[in-house]
Amino acid sequence: LARIALDAMGGDFAPRATVSGALQALAELDPAHSIQLVGRAGDIERELQGLLAGELAQLAGHRARLEVVDAADVVDMAEKPSAAVRGKPNSSMMLGLKLQADGRSDGFVSAGNTGAQMAGSLVILRLHQGLSRPAIPTVFPTAKHPVVVLDSGANVDCSAEELVQFARIGSVYAEDVLRRRNPGVGLLNIGEEPEKGNAVVKEAHQLLERAGVNFMGNVEGRDILKGENDKGSIDVVVCDGFVGNVLLKFYEQVAPMIIGLLQGAGVTPEQLQGALKQLDYANYGGAPLLGVRGVSIICHGKSSPRAIKNGVKAAVQAVESRMSEHIGRRLSEGASGAAA
Amino acid sequence: LARIALDAMGGDFAPRATVSGALQALAELDPAHSIQLVGRAGDIERELQGLLAGELAQLAGHRARLEVVDAADVVDMAEKPSAAVRGKPNSSMMLGLKLQADGRSDGFVSAGNTGAQMAGSLVILRLHQGLSRPAIPTVFPTAKHPVVVLDSGANVDCSAEELVQFARIGSVYAEDVLRRRNPGVGLLNIGEEPEKGNAVVKEAHQLLERAGVNFMGNVEGRDILKGENDKGSIDVVVCDGFVGNVLLKFYEQVAPMIIGLLQGAGVTPEQLQGALKQLDYANYGGAPLLGVRGVSIICHGKSSPRAIKNGVKAAVQAVESRMSEHIGRRLSEGASGAAA
C-alpha cells in the first residue's frame, strides 16, 4: 500500500537506471505498491518504451503500477543545495518530496544531489520534534548480522545531545527495517572504559545511560564487524558524521581490494562470489534521511538499476513499518523521560 | 650498530614472548646489532636458559649479543601512566627508556602499558622542538603499498596546527622507514574539495598547502586502501587520533572476518594464506612514538614472539635511518619556512 516517488532524473545513469530499477522493483514488490516516476515526462516515457520493447519486455505487466509525474527542472549533481531548494521548486527532486508533504505519496527515493536532497527534505518534510538534525544511517555488512552505523555523513560536528538523538532514531530504524528487538546501541570510541574518548563522547556516554535506549556502552572499531562487544549484541553504532563517513568509504573499498588479492592467488570467481556476496553494499539499497517527517531515501550517485530497485524496496519497508511515525513517538517519549 | 633496549617484562606473554622474540630478532639482524633485555634478571635468565636448552637451541650463538639489564619493578598493564612515571623509576619500562637518555642505548621497544610508555617517553626522552604532542603512526597494509596513518591513538582532539605537525613527522617516517621518496601526504576528510569537513580539517587544509610537505589534498576513506587519490600516490594519511584509532581497530578485524567467510565457502587455507599474508599486521612490528627525541617502539600487548621480533627490527631501522634526528631537523625547517 505504499506509493513511492522516485526521482527519475537523479544519478549518474538516470533516467535509464532509474526507470529500469523502478520496473524491477515493481516485479519484486507486492502488487499493492506503486511507483511515481518524477521527472521530464518525455524522457521517462521514451526510456519506458525502449525498455519494455527490449530487455525488460517481460515486465510490461507492471507498467500500470507506474505513474509518470512531470517535472520540468532537474537539480544538477554539483548544484548548491540552498540554490536548488529555493530556485528549482519544479525539479524532480523538490516535486517528488512535495508529493509526500501533500499526502499524495508515502516515500521518496533519489540517487541525485545528496546535499540538495537533505536540504529539500528538511524544508519540505521538516524534522521530527526532539531533533536538532537529521542523520544518515549506513548498514554495515558483517559476518554476524548487519550493523547500523549513524551518522554516516550528514553532520561533521556533533554535540553529545545529538549523539543521543542518533541513538534514539537509530534504534527505531533497527527495529523497523532490520527487524531487531530491543536493539543494542554502542557508542563508537577508542576504548571500552566510560572515561575514554574526547569530551563530546565522554558526555554522550553519561547521557546514553539514561536515554531510554538499550545502551551497551562503548564499542571500538573492531566490535562493529563482530556485531557485539563484551556486553552483548550490537545493532546500532553511534558516531559523528565525520568518523562515520570515513569508516563507510573505507569499508566500501575493502571488498574490491580483497577480491583482487584473492583472484591473484587463484581463488575462483565462483568461490569469491559465494563468500563475499553478503558484503555487497548494493544489497542494502539507499539510506534513509532519518529524522524528517516522512521517508526520503538517499541512493549513491552511481546507482545501478539493481541499487535503485533496492532503494525503492527500502522506501516501501520504511513506509510499511511506519518508521517515521515511530521515530516521532520515540522522540516524544525520550523528551518526557529526560524531563521526568 | 644499534643497541636496542627491550622491555622484557612488557606484554601479556612476557617474559617468554619477549625473550624468545629477542633471540629471533638477533638471528635475523646484522651481527653488529645488540639487544638489552631490561627486567627482572632472574626471570629473564631462567627464560633464556629454558629457550636455549629447548626450542631455540639453534640460536645459542646469538646469546653473546644479549645483555641483561636488571630492573626490580614492573609497570602493570592497568597502572595509571602518571603513577608509573613518578612511582616506578626502577621499572623495566622507565629504566629501558633511561638507558637511551643516558646514551647507553639507541632505541626502546615495549609491549607493555602503552599509556605509561607514552608518558615515560615524553618525560625521559622529551619532545622535539616544533611539536606540541607526539603521534603514533600505523602502517595500513593495502593491495598497492603500505600507507602510514597518523595519529592512530595518542591524541583524541587535535588542532589544525597539530595535524600539520603530524604531516611533517609522518613524512620523515615514510622516508626513513618505508623508504618512500618525497612521500605524498593526504588529509583524511569526507570529500575531495578543500571546503569539506569540520572546522579543524578545513583550517588544516589551508595550512598544509604551505607546510613544506608534499601535500596531495584531501583523501577519503576509500583512498587509504587504494594508496592514491586523483592527484597521485598517497604514502601518509593525517587525521586525529580518534578517527585513526577507530579505523585501525576496524581494519584489524577485516582480515579475520574475510577469512571466516571464505573458509565457509570452501576456499583452502593455503590459498587464503597466500592471498592475505600482506594484510597481516604482525608483519609490521610495533609503532614508534613519533616526536620524542629518541626511539620508542610501542608493541601490542598481545605480542607474539614474532611480533616482538619485528618490533626490535623496527627499532633497528629507526635507529639506522636516524629518523629522530631527521624529525628534529625537519621541524626546525618547517618552523623557519613558516616564519619566512
Predicted confidence (pLDDT) per residue in B234-256, tens digit:
999 999 999 999 999 998 888 77
Q: Using CB atoms within 10 A of its CB, is residue A89 exposed (0-12), middle (13-18) or buried (19+)? A: middle
A50's grid cell: 525502449
- Taking the C-alpha atoms of residue A340 and residue A7, their distance in angstroms, rounded to an integer, is 43
A61/A42 Cα distance (integer angstroms): 21
Residues in chain A closer than 8 A to B220 (CB atoms): 245-246, 249
Residue of B nearest to A200 (CA): B157
Using an 8 Å CB-CB cutoff, list chain B residues near A258.
254, 258, 276
Element holding B196 (H helix, E strand): none
- Cα distance from A274 to chain B (closest Cα, Å)? 6
CA of A157 vs chain B CAs: smallest distance (Å)? 6
| ipTM computed for the complex | 0.80
User: Closest by alpha carbon to B111, among B285, B279, B292, B242?
Assistant: B285
Among chain A residues, the shortest Cα distance to B265 is held by: A275
**Given A190, A239, A252, which is nearest B153 (Cβ)?**
A190
Residues of B in Cβ contact (< 8 Å) with A152: none
Question: pTM of the entire structure?
Answer: 0.84
State the pLDDT confidence band at A178, using cuts at 50, 70 and 90. confident
Structure confidence at residue A340 (pLDDT): 35
Q: Which pLDDT score, from 0 to 100, does residue A56 have?
A: 94
CA pair distance B208, B206, nearest whole angstrom = 6
Of the segments A45-49, A177-181, B127-131, B322-326, which one has the largest average pLDDT value? A45-49
Which amino acid type is present at position B244?
G
Q: Where are the beta strands (DSSP E) in A122-178?
A: 138-140, 147-150
Sorting pLDDT into bands at 50, 70 and 90, what band is A339?
very low
**SS3 at position A34:** strand
Q: What is the DSSP letter of A61?
A: G
How many Å apart are CA B287 and CA B152, to the nearest integer? Answer: 10
Tell me the three cell numbers of residue A271. 568461490
pLDDT, tens digit, 9 for 90 and up, residues A215-230:
999 999 999 999 999 9
Amino acid (one-letter) located at A250: F
Residue A336 banded pLDDT, cuts 50, 70, 90? low
What pLDDT, on the 0 to 100 scale, is given for residue B157? 87
B284 and B142 in contact (C-beta within 8 Å)? no
What CA–CA distances, in Å, run from B291 to A170, B101, B259?
40, 15, 36
> In this complex, which of B157, B254, B265 lies closest to A271 when CB atoms are compared?
B265
Q: What percent of chain A has pLDDT over 70?
A: 94
Determine the residue among A254, A273, A281 to mutate to test chain B binding: the one whose Cβ has the most chain B Cβ atoms within 10 Å: A254
Q: Which residue of B has its CA nearest to A252?
A: B222
List of chain B residues whose C-beta atoms are within 8 Å of the C-beta of residue A248: 221
Average pLDDT estimate for A12-27? 92
* Overall average pLDDT of the A58-79 stretch: 95
Among A239, A5, A204, smallest CA distance to A104 is for A5
- Looking at the complex, report in whole angstroms how far the Cα of residue B63 sits from the nearest Cα belonging to chain A: 39
Q: Do A265 and B279 touch (CB under 8 A)?
A: no
- Asked if A75 and A91 count as a contact pair (C-beta separation under 8 A), the reply is yes
- The answer to whether A98 and A73 are in contact (CB under 8 A) is no
Closest residue on chain B to A245 (Cα)? B190
Distance from CA of B30 to the nearest CA of A (A): 33
- CA gap B252, A225 in Å, rounded: 10
Q: How far is B81 from chain A (nearest CA, A)?
A: 14
Which residues of chain A neighbour B267 with C-beta distances below 8 Å? 262, 267, 271, 275
Note the pLDDT tens digit of each residue in A97-120. Answer: 999 999 999 999 999 998 899 899
Strand order in the sheet with B3-7: B66-70, B34-39, B3-7, B107-110, B296-298, B287-288
Regions of chain B short of the pLDDT cut 50: 337-340
Residue type, A114: T
Show residues of chain B in contact with A267, CB under 8 Å: 262, 267, 271, 275
Is B242 within 8 Å of A153 when comparing Cβ atoms? no
Winning range, highest mean pLDDT, from A22-31, A82-91, A111-120, B309-318: A82-91
**A219 vs B contacts (CB less than 8 Å):** none
Contact at 8 Å (CB) between A312 and A23?
A: no
CA distance A48 to A35: 13
Which pLDDT band holds residue A287 (cuts at 50, 70, 90)?
A: confident
